[in-house]
Amino acid sequence: MSVRVSAMSVLPPVRRDRIIAQLPQYFKKEAALHTKDDFNNKVRTACQEQRTGTVGFKISKVIVVGDLAVGKTCLINRFCKDAFDKNYKATIGVDFEMERFEVLGVPFSLQLWDTAGQERFKCIASTYYRGAQVVIIAFDVNDVASLGHVRQWLEDALKENDPTAVQLFLVGTKKDLSSPAQYSRIEQDALKLAQEMRAEYWAVSSLTGENVKEFFFRVASLAFETNVLAELEKSGSRQIGDVVRINSTSNKLYATSKKKHPNCCQ
């Protein structure tokens, strides 16, 4: 118990506006990782019964990639600091922010990695892609070329990760600068691409804050759910394996222990 307390004390407290009690809804049903209205029943039950294992102590890595000046840093800053800086400064290499949540009563942390979009920093940034649980690919809804580069960013990110173990999000930024007609046209292409990539699509504005909090709450919730389900599967398989091994080899174990006992005492 003392280990748990000391481990928790190292982590910052959860802010009141980072508490998630219900599963945040998707932005577009046709491009969502799943369309359930609530958390998986197994996840809810595990949280109620405090059977989430080490999830409360884990930090899930989230990388944000995309072209230069699409608004990756502004997106992170709007959520983490509730700020928007009009004076654009290109990210050199990488930077990251830590965000703490409480999901269904369980603490959960996201490490948000802001990566450089400039070609000359790509090699540096790519070294930090490894171990990501979530990949967010950002593009500017007012720049068709940035959407066209999404596949390459995806390929680069997946080189360092297991494609089956990563949750993908395609995020259109600077929605406030786009007219309804202009946005509608690019959204059709973005939705199609998100479906092909098996990514969840969102459109946000870091300037106004539109959909930013909802988006990151959705990211945190789906990452949390995935972690809890993995923990339950791991603990379940371990328990089943123990039962099978003991039942099938109980006589051999007993015989072996009788033979080895004298040697242990020497």
Q: What is this structure's pTM? A: 0.83
- Quote the pLDDT of residue 89: 67
Residue ranges of domains in the chain, CATH in brackets: 12-20+53-233 (3.40.50.300)
For 193, half-sphere exposure in the C-beta direction (CA atoms, 13 angstrom radius) is 24
Contact 114, 125 (CB under 8 A): no
- Quote the pLDDT of residue 118: 60
Contact 129, 160 (CB under 8 A): yes
pLDDT along the chain (266 residues), means of 10: 45 89 97 96 97 94 95 95 79 80 97 77 72 97 97 93 95 97 96 98 98 98 97 74 42 43 45
Max Cα-Cα span within the chain: 85
Contact 149, 157 (CB under 8 A): no
How many degrees, rounded to 5, is the angle at CA 197 between CA 196 and CA 199? 115
- Quote the pLDDT of residue 37: 95
Q: Are strands 59-66 and 106-115 parallel, antiparallel or unpaired?
A: parallel
The 3-state secondary structure of the chain reads CHHHHHHHHHCCCCCHHHEECCCCCCCCHHHCCCCCCCCCHHHHHHHHCCCCCCHHHCEEEEEEEECCCCCHHHHHHHHHHCCCCCCCCCCCCEEEEEEEEEECCEEEEEEEEEECCCHHHHHHHHCCCCCCCEEEEEEECCCHHHHHCHHHHHHHHHHCCCHHHCEEEEEEECHHHCCHHHHHHHHHHHHHHHHHHCCEEEECCCCCCCCHHHHHHHHHHHHHHHHHHHHHHHHHHHHHHHHHHHHHHHHHHHHHHHHHHHHHHC
Q: How far apart are the first and last CA of the chain?
A: 36
Q: Rg (Cα) of the chain, in Å, rounded?
A: 22
CA dist 115 and 91 (Å) reads: 7
